Amino acid sequence: MKVTLSSSPAWFRLGSVALFLLAAVGSRVAAQSAQLAPADEVALRRLIPKADHFELVETGLRHFRAYSSGLNPDGRMEVVGLAFFTTDLTPRIYAYKGRITTLVALDIGGTLVGVRVVHHYEPFGYFSIDRPEFSEQFLGKSILDPLEVGEDVDAVSRATITVEAATRAIRQGARQLVREFLAEQTTEP
């Protein structure tokens, strides 16, 4: 037996139309939510000052792309950097009291150009990851560097779990994002 929309009861037809409208409105809301929050744009401009425009990418790994107004030979804006929140790319890395949200920025060559701890519940954060020295030690490091506490990242006594978790989230997230970005670039025509 074949059932068509016109042979269906009125309540079914109305429900189908309502579901269609909800799906259409939902996709429009999702498209609007992909826009950058003003606070995110301010933070990104601090970490990647040479960028003129930022875009939130929600396909694959959720991240930001930074563009320069200079155009590529094919007429597109040039990508000059990538950024991500560690809680988006490494959500299962926990420190002593929970996850540490850090905004990490890289150039397209995989060099860290900015790190900013945004939020945490760590009891010893005030003398470890909140200090400017923690974020500054990552600047200029490559994703190919070890990025290991005690090796090329300074350890802080009494806050080892906090510093190790923050460092691991930065390292894993940065490597994962660059890997995906490079794979995407090699598949584009």
Let me know whether 168 and 141 are in one domain.
Answer: yes
Let me know whether 50 and 4 are in one domain.
Answer: no
Place of tokens 């006594």: 157
Report whether 130 contacts 123 (CB < 8 A): no
Can you give the pTM of this predicted structure? 0.80
What pLDDT does residue 66 have?
Answer: 97
Let me know whether 55 and 137 are in one domain.
Answer: yes
Let me know whether 95 and 4 are in one domain.
Answer: no
pLDDT category, 105, cuts 50, 70, 90?
Answer: very high
Q: Which residues contact 143 (CB under 8 A, 6 or more apart)?
A: 106, 110, 111, 112, 171, 174, 175, 178
What pLDDT does residue 125 have?
Answer: 96
Let me know whether 112 and 179 are in one domain.
Answer: yes
Domain residues for the domain of 18 are: 1-33
The neighbour count for residue 31, using CB atoms within 10 Å, is 10
Specify the higher pLDDT residue, 22 or 188.
Answer: 188
Cα separations in angstroms, 86 against 8, 62, 95: 50, 10, 12
